Amino acid sequence: MSVNESSRTPTTNGEIQGGGKSVHEQMRHDHLITSKQLSRADIETVLDHAAEIDADRSAFADRHADKLLGLLFFEPSTRTKMSFETAMKRLGGDIVDMGAVESSSVTKGETLADTVRVIEGYTDALVLRHPKQGAATMAGEFVDVPLLNAGDGAGHHPTQTLLDLYTIRENAGLDDLTIGIMGDLKYGRTVHSLAYALSNFDTRQHFISPESLQLPREVVYDLHQEQERVQIREHESIEEVLPSLDVLYVTRIQRERFPDENEYQQVAGKYQIDTEALETARDELTVMHPLPRVDEIAPAVDTTDHAAYFEQAHNGVPVRMALLDLLLRDGGETDE
Amino acid sequence: MSNDHDHHDGNDDHELRVSKIRDGTVIDHVNGGQALNVLAILGIDGSKGEEVSVGMNVPSDRLARKDIVKVEGRELSQDEVDVLSLIAPDATINIVRNYEVIEKHRVERPDAVTGVLSCPNPGCITTAGEPVTSKFEVLDDAVRCVYCETIVRDEIPSLIDT
């Protein structure tokens, strides 16, 4: 699961189940760059561990008392950054934060490759968010401590995916799942990461978006590589597919993707969910959103049984605790 | 010496443009119009005094029009020429010593090419002034940036890093 191999050679379940290295050993000291590198067994290990932590957080309170996590956020973040910070502190560890780009050495023209090599020397693991696609892949080539990708431009956001999967598993289960993913599918990195990860499970994936914001051909190409397991359909309208869904994953359509306000309003209006729209949905439908939302989910939906997006955001802590715990275990330590 | 057969037609003009070489490499059956890209990929621009002959859009039996590149004094390795498969999939490589072709082979598609192409995605980390060499995975009918995962199908010559 090294960085370059990971983008092309997913770990195989057979290797993990066949008595070779345990998934804990494989994940230890490793980078998490893209959800593509995660096998079904990897995902289940993280989610099971997150459930364990969720059930009794105090048991993990001083697990990493001597460890420091470096936060390198070259783009604004609230949830991702704060939940990493919370997760590390709940494990007994601490964080060091580069702070805003404006007050860092980046303004002096330092390369990312240099920055990560410097901060690596201060910390036991790194979390990186960067506006450029492939930034985490490249940074991972320069450091030995575990590096977690917290978003690289329009690329990947695998820790968001793991908390999304955790939420889906808690609410609807991950196999025999019919999921609709709606909104900005072109630039939405959470969408790409989620679609890849779901291809490890028996899922029917419906992608609902305006034509101009359909999935990039790179993502479709990869999903078609998994064709035997995954069924993919693309739609322009939610109505035809909503009644069949177990999960509806809504993302924000950004104003800046459209040339003018009128066009934005016309398009975005078709991809909004309110209680009236949900009348045709199954009672068990789970509605998710990576947040922040603007107006794509009406506030009235918040109090329905469908709404799982705040729970989803809260799940960021146990899932990131689980990931950090798995990645920060000492080299000589055996699985407990 | 098949690379010269197409030109032994008594046409002095052809002889003049694509002359025989003594020691070096002849790259034949390059898709018409791609010869300069071949040189760019090989990093040959004449500034180091390389002796190079180029024939462009020469009539050919196998390809309607083909280019030929002859490089004197340099024997290209298989790794070097395999990169050419991206823009000249039918190219044949002739290694010449003392006017005789001593080795002849086809280009084969490599698994990946490093440092030859530039990623066209302005949002890719490899275009951001970082100390990183571009790397593309070679797919059946396209190449793909290992960093940002952008897939390029038709515009590969325009990505050649010159």
How far CA A16 is from CA of A11, A41, A196, A258, B41, in Å, comes to 8, 7, 19, 46, 42
How many domains in chain B? 2
Contact A8/B at CB under 8 A: yes
Q: Which residue type, as a one-letter code, is found at position A67?
A: K
| pLDDT of amino acid B113 | 92
Instruction: Tell me how far apart the alpha carbons of residues A276 and A18 are, in angstroms, rounded to a whole number.
Output: 50
Topology of domain A3-155+316-328 in CATH is: Rossmann fold (3.40.50)
| pLDDT of amino acid B45 | 86
Residue among A33, A110, A138 with most chain B CBs within 10 A, to mutate: A138
CATH number for the region A159-314 comes to 3.40.50.1370
State the CATH number of the domain containing residue B121.
Answer: 2.30.30.20
**Tens-digit pLDDT profile for chain B (162 aa)?**
444 444 444 444 444 445 689 999 999 999 999 999 999 888 888 888 889 999 999 988 777 899 999 999 999 888 888 889 999 999 999 999 999 999 999 999 999 999 889 999 999 999 999 999 999 999 988 999 999 999 998 788 888 876
Residue A133: DSSP 8-state: B
pTM confidence score: 0.84
- CA-based nearest residue in chain A for residue B124: A133
Residues 16-75 (A) with a CB less than 8 A from some CB of B: none
In which residue are the tokens 């050495």 written? A105
Does the N-terminal peptide bond of residue A292 adopt cis geometry, omega within 30 degrees of 0? yes
| pLDDT of amino acid A335 | 43
> So which residues of A are the catalytic ones?
79-80, 108, 129, 157
Same fold, A3-155+316-328 and A159-314: yes
- CA-based nearest residue in chain A for residue B137: A8
pLDDT 10s digits, A42-81: 999 999 999 999 999 999 999 999 999 999 999 988 899 9
Of the candidates A8, A138, A154, the beta carbon closest to that of B132 is on: A138
Contact A108/B at CB under 8 A: no
Contact A132/B at CB under 8 A: yes
- Residues B97 and B136 both lie in one domain: no
| Positions of chain A with pLDDT under 50 | 1-29, 331-336
- CA-based nearest residue in chain A for residue B129: A111
| pLDDT of amino acid A13 | 30
- Residues B27 and B101 both lie in one domain: yes
| pLDDT of amino acid A288 | 98
| pLDDT of amino acid B124 | 96
Q: Do B123 and A112 touch (CB under 8 A)?
A: no
- CA-based nearest residue in chain A for residue B134: A138
Count of A–B CB contacts within 8 Å? 59
Residues of B in contact with A113 (CB under 8 A): 130-132
Q: Do A132 and B125 touch (CB under 8 A)?
A: yes
Residues of B in contact with A7 (CB under 8 A): 146, 149
DSSP one-letter string for A216-250 = PHHHHHHHHHTTTTEEEEEES-STTTGGG-SEEEE
Residue ranges covered by each domain of chain A: 3-155+316-328, 159-314
State the CATH number of the domain containing residue B102.
Answer: 3.30.70.140
Instruction: Tell me how far apart the alpha carbons of residues A294 and A114 are, in angstroms, rounded to a whole number.
Output: 37
- CA-based nearest residue in chain A for residue B121: A133
How far CA A313 is from CA of A276, A288, A302, in Å, comes to 25, 10, 14
Q: Do B125 and A4 touch (CB under 8 A)?
A: no
Instruction: Tell me how far apart the alpha carbons of residues A52 and A323 are, in angstroms, rounded to a whole number.
Output: 12
- Residues B89 and B45 both lie in one domain: yes
| pLDDT of amino acid A306 | 98
**Chain B: which residues have CB within 8 Å of chain A?**
121, 123-126, 128-132, 135, 137, 144-151
- Residues B73 and B132 both lie in one domain: no
| pLDDT of amino acid B57 | 94
Of the candidates A4, A134, A141, the beta carbon closest to that of B148 is on: A134
Q: Do A141 and B148 touch (CB under 8 A)?
A: no
| pLDDT of amino acid A92 | 97
Contact A104/B at CB under 8 A: no
CB B65 within 8 A of CB B32: yes
Task: Indicate if ipTM > 0.85.
Answer: no
- Residues B131 and B88 both lie in one domain: no
CA-based torsion, A81, A83, A85, A88: positive or negative: negative
Record the tokens describing residue A166, joined without a space.
């955790």
β-strands B135-138, B143-145: how paired? antiparallel
Where in the sequence is the domain holding B147, given as residue range(s)?
112-159
Determine phi and psi for A60, rounding to 5 degrees. Answer: -110, 10
Q: Which residues contact A93 (CB under 8 A, 6 or more apart)?
A: A64, A65, A66, A67, A68, A69, A124, A324, A328
- Residues B133 and B92 both lie in one domain: no
Instruction: Tell me how far apart the alpha carbons of residues A332 and A136 are, in angstroms, rounded to a whole number.
Output: 27
Instruction: Tell me how far apart the alpha carbons of residues B37 and B161 are, in angstroms, rounded to a whole number.
Output: 10
Instruction: Tell me how far apart the alpha carbons of residues A308 and A299 are, in angstroms, rounded to a whole number.
Output: 13
Contact A9/B at CB under 8 A: no
CA distance B131 to chain A (A): 7
- Residues B36 and B56 both lie in one domain: yes
